Amino acid sequence: MKKFIVMLLMGMLVLSGCGNSEKAKLQDQIQSLEKEQKTLKEENKKLKEQSSKLDDQIRAAEEKIQQSSNQSDTAKDESSSKAHSKTNKDDKSQNSKSS
């Protein structure tokens, strides 16, 4: 019986030693994962900022295109009305020559 109790105590001692080793490994893994998480959060933040800047650039480019389009439409309208009035003047002068 004494041998059984001694063996049981030794077994518990050995098993508790293995548990500490596992615990230390797990703590190391946790610390490693926490560092990785922090790095990934920082990277995510930088990517979001970069995305925001790119979105702003896209909006600015779209506004510039819109303004250019509006200006060209205005220029086309002006040239069209000038051409139309010139055509009307030419028609009037030809009509008066015919008469």
Domain ranges of the chain: 34-72
pTM: 0.49
Q: Check residues 78 and 24 and name the one with the higher pLDDT.
A: 24
Residue 69, burial from CB neighbour count under 10 angstroms (0-12, 13-18, 19+): exposed
What mean pLDDT do residues 21-36 have? 90
How confident is the model over 43-98, as pLDDT tens digits? 999 999 999 999 999 999 999 999 988 887 777 666 666 655 655 555 555 555 55
Q: Is the pLDDT of residue 99 over 60?
A: no
